[in-house]
Structure 1
């Protein structure tokens, strides 16, 4: 960084540091912070709207003066906005800054002038002669408006600061940031590769699982069809046994009235239909074995546990072996 570039950066520092603070100090004296929003919203709003209509005030500046949320504060005002408000609503008439003129209007105009020099610079450089003049002018103007004891020291520090060292430090920090970004990028690419590999493996596993699931489904379907066929054969056999039982019941002499016989047959037909939904478990087989070895069997259990379904299933199994079924609901039916 050559000397002219350093000169430019030092002027930038004093304009946006002490210079901006000088303008803000004077602005706050003219528009006290505790009544600023009242002045803007009530006293000056119509005039400010007129400036906006004339494009003197931009939309961005309007939003700073009248924010959608919260209230306006001079802390957020830049040099341009503060000098605009001062020029239109505080100073009686506009004058160009005159050398060595200590009036606030001239001081603020000087700061605004150097701010424009910075903003419109094409090469970011200031020669030594222009720099010395601007530096002295800005420091004196800031000192008159701020009146702060350490302002002179602040300006001197800006004037003596080794910008090359600061530039070097920033460049090194930028280099470190770039290195970290490259490391993050490499780590991200590695992670992406790992994810891609994992997805491929998951795809292979999914394919294998799909084959296994297909085989299981095929086996289940086959077993299901086999169970259905067996169940249909069992139901058909029960129907045949039921027809035989019906014939025997009506052909033999019996103390059971005909209307009761008809009711029994309707009940058993209903049992045969319900048998399609019955699921045989190991306990069912054990109970059937007990029943075959004993003349009677008592089934006990909580309500809803399947006692009735079990008894009806056992009765149908016995019917398929040639037994006749006579449902008894009440003891008096014995």
Structure 2
């Protein structure tokens, strides 16, 4: 019996699905999961695959044969291949219309082509009458043929095109019909197995929930038994307490009766005393009225005194605020004094270290001839220059009113003497003045003297005409007074200032020669 055109269309398209489309899906699968490492990849994903509800036990036996190295993608059907591509890494993305719907013709992605093959295979398996109209055949064939070409990278496109013109003899028809029937049976059995697996999984879940609930009920019963035991113990103790309380109440009742009898006697005495009180009240009303008038006057006086006391309280509160502010100011001054003391201590330590270093250097440099004074002066000049350059690198030179006034006085008198308490910045101001004075186009040499010996050497050479002994006596006296200024009051500072003025006038009268 000859086949109709619709039956031929069905068999040819079915053959394309079974023979070529499944091979294209396998070619893409092998490109993603290389056959040489397929067993290792399946072993890594075994936990996920064995728990997946869409993979049956028969398919698991195919995935994990014995030995594991015998696994081959040729043994996988289209459904299993698509399922593995969705589960194993790298996972395929979900198509726009999902895995169970035919993708849009314009969607040519890999995941869409896999969904096409899956959809057309299911469509052919569930097409019960075995017929396919020419319009559907042409549309389905073109769509599936393009998907096969893309998945196989055009390697199976010619084979797919040749299937459309294959001659359907009787043996091939019988084989295709048998395959169709077998696939329908396999699909039905797979569906039944999946349903049974889902049912078993649900039953297992329900059983586990029931076991948990039973365990919770057992624990709840145990807690209830413990609570009942506690309540029984508390009830027996409460019952004993009630019996003891009843006995005490009976004793109290007897005592109350005795007290009531005594109260009757006392009441009679109270009545007699009440009558006496009434008579006394009558005689004392007049006295109470007079006392009330006096109390009224006294209340007025107290009110005036309260007003005065409130004013005094406000005045005292203001004084307290002022005292608190003064205390804060004193506290800040104390902190400043402590900070200055710490700075003075640090500067003293630094000065002692510098003096020691200078003395050590002086000891290591003996003076054997007249040229040693020149070398010593040169060393002092270099030290002073290095110290000023160090301040410049640190950026600590800031123009202040003190430094400006010092420059003005030095230009006016030719001599400048800086005095002040320890830690007030005398040395820093002096170095700043030296730096500013020499940047004005002058050619003076700058020497920082650290000890009286160095000062004596300078005076003894050719800087001043006055004898060294007289100058040293005055400088020693000024040095002692300057050291005492740290502990003196304002009157002492005035005396020291006067002495400094006298010394300045004397130095101004001397002629300073440029070395």
Taking structure 1 as the reference length, the TM-score comes to 0.46
* Larger relative contact order, structure 1 or 2 (CA cutoff 8 Å, min sep 6): 1
In our comparison, the structure showing a higher alpha carbon Rg is 2
Scaled by the length of structure 2, the TM-score of the pair is: 0.30
